[in-house]
Structure 1
Amino acid sequence: MKAPLLACLLGLTFSAFAQNQQLIVLGVAQDAGYPQLGAAQEFAAVELGQRTRQKVVALGLVDEKAEQKFLLEATPDMPDQLFALNAFWPTPGTLPTGIFLTHGHIGHYTGLMYLGREASGATAVPVYAMPRMARFLTTNAPWSQLVTLQNIKLLPLADGQEITLNPALKIKPFLVPHRDEFTETVGFEITGKHRKAVFIPDIDKWSKWSQNLLDVIKHADYVLLDATFYRDGEIARPMAEVPHPFVEETIKLLHSLPAKERAKVYFLHFNHTNPLLQPDSPERRAVLQQGFRVAEEGLTLDL
């Protein structure tokens, strides 16, 4: 089901709609968002109402009973995304119970800047990070100032080690292959009271991963997957430099899945060139007709 975004825009709360535990999609675009810098036609289309702005990929995680709300990723759109999360389910205070980071590319951690001295001046917001990610934040300005001023409190993650957020909610990071220039990259397995979700916003080709994607889908209820590019040749740069799995490749890999399993798959993390961003594109219609799903901002998934 989808959360009523109009209520959010009107300043109404979502508490009447919230279930005990939910994931909320707070953005679906690749790191640079949509429209992207320099793309004049995209900006014009948004201004004319022909296209919609898309925030960078992030999830909200809410546990109503435990009065907890988490962000998965700290994006450049974090102020708007945290506002939406707070509107979805208000709790005492406006900052999240914690933030989980997947890796050190610009769309996934730079929102931490809004916790610093120049912005909210937060106090000890828990930020869960893998070892290289934590070291990157600790040793590189301006992020190191967040640590020294105790705007954030770094908490360790380890590959395959589950974190208990409360007795009915757990999250487990797992390493995935990616362009790890600065940090390692992880996906997350989120286990709620009734359902399990897997979140992999960034990964290189599926063949480079030690796990079998079909098995991952089999043992989960929702699988949110990297769909940065739809097909080869989509951008002018050599695409081997950014070796995400093309949506066409992922669909081919999953073609043998029954309809029930295909319906678990939600594509997200769309580059501005990806036709799945456009609601009227034939590519989007084809993906939906094959039984897969395209994530949209405001989508909520019960755990």
Structure 2
Amino acid sequence: MWLRVLGSAAGGGSPQWNCGCPVCTAVRSGEGVARTQSSVAVSADRRTWYLINASPDVRTQIEAFPGLHPHGGRTSPLAGVLLTDAELDHTLGLLLLREARALRLYSTPAVHKTLCDGTGVLRTLERYCPVEWTAVVGGTDVPLGEGLSCRAFAVPTTKRARFGSGADDGRVVGYRLTDERSGGKLGYLPGVQALTPAVREQIEGCACLLIDGTCWSDDELVRLGLAGKTSREMGHQPVGGPDGTLAQLPSLNARRVIFVHLNNTNPILLDDSPERRAVVEAGAEVAVDGLEVEV
């Protein structure tokens, strides 16, 4: 099984167009690496690929990855899109895939309902191309083809739902992908508020875990004067701190851990920062666009 990080930043990318924080300023000056918005592609054979989330940068991301280029005519290696939630930075890219002859979509019923009746993204897309929806139910393995399967698992969140009541189960999920031939497992968890026992059970034994790295500290955006909410209030467990993700790495039992969905304010985006050094010393990695993983 192969995974390609198409975009490693959180919504808005890095640098974010309207942000002059220290990290964005450093990236603009060439002291940091620019990143597009969060999305990955997975494949069991390097011929057929599935996206997990479709960011607003999807066209640029596809062009940057030859594995997703058409082989002739308009036959694409893209076989489907899996969604972790209905956030705009994870779904607006669906509209940019409207030239497809048909688009296969995998999501929970709660996410599907929000895309239809809340944001209207799916209703708009259906005016351009057929959408073949496959419901994913937490705890159930869904075959994707070529020996690859996925299992969605619920990620509890108290983040306010912008569209709808937010009461439906499955509003936010992670994915555990399995190569049925080798048994290798990979976890993708770009948004997690807390590593609950139920979440830990689903990522147990993953050879590689790509996990939420949105903010370094819980008060990061508040301290910079950029927002009035903490990282956890926005649905993301911070990386640093005594109860952050980094401190819990030894108990996650994952051979390789990569932080993804990195907010433009997060100092681990800078190679020479103390926070990046702490990540490296803990044995983890910081994702960059174009990173490839084989499991």
> What's the TM-score once normalised by structure 2's chain length?
0.83
What are the Cα deviations for residues 243-289 of structure 1, in whole angstroms up to 9, with x where unaligned?
A: 411112112223457xxx46421111111111111111111111111
AA aligned opposite 1:191: T
2:225 maps to what in 1?
none
- TM-aligned CA distance change 1:141 to 1:212, over 3 Å: closer
1:187 maps to what in 2?
174
- TM-aligned CA distance change 1:180 to 1:94, over 3 Å: farther
Q: Equivalent residue of 1:75, what SS?
A: coil
- TM-aligned CA distance change 1:43 to 1:295, over 3 Å: closer
AA aligned opposite 2:91: Y
Superposition deviation, residue 300 in structure 1: 1.4
1:175 aligns with 2:154: yes
1:115 maps to what in 2?
97
1:32 maps to what in 2?
12
Query: Of residues 218, 221, 244 in structure 2, which corresponds to 1:232?
Result: 218
Q: Equivalent residue of 2:17, what SS?
A: coil
AA aligned opposite 1:98: G
State how many pairs are aligned.
Answer: 271
Tell me how far apart the structure 1 counterparts of residues 155 and 249 of structure 2 sit (CA, whole Å): 19
What are the Cα deviations for residues 154-193 of structure 1, in whole angstroms up to 9, with x where unaligned?
A: 2221111211122521111111112261461110011013
Q: Equivalent residue of 1:254, what SS?
A: helix
2:49 maps to what in 1?
69
Runs of 4 or more, structure 1, over 6 Å off, are none
Give the conservation status (yes or no) of the 8 Å contact 1:222–1:265.
yes
2:76 maps to what in 1?
94
Seq. identity, %:
28
Query: Of residues 191, 201, 204 in structure 1, which corresponds to 2:190?
Result: 201
What are the Cα deviations for residues 172-223 of structure 1, in whole angstroms up to 9, with x where unaligned?
A: 11111122614611100110133210100001122xx34153x555411011
Query: What stretches of structure 2 of length at least 5 have no aligned partner?
Result: 223-227
> What's the TM-score once normalised by structure 1's chain length?
0.81
Tell me how far apart the structure 2 counterparts of residues 23 and 265 of structure 1 sit (CA, whole Å): 13
Matches within 5 A, 1:262-281: 263-281=255-273
AA aligned opposite 2:193: D
1:157 maps to what in 2?
136
Query: What stretches of structure 1 of length at least 5 have no aligned partner?
Result: 1-20
Matches within 5 A, 1:10-21: 21=1
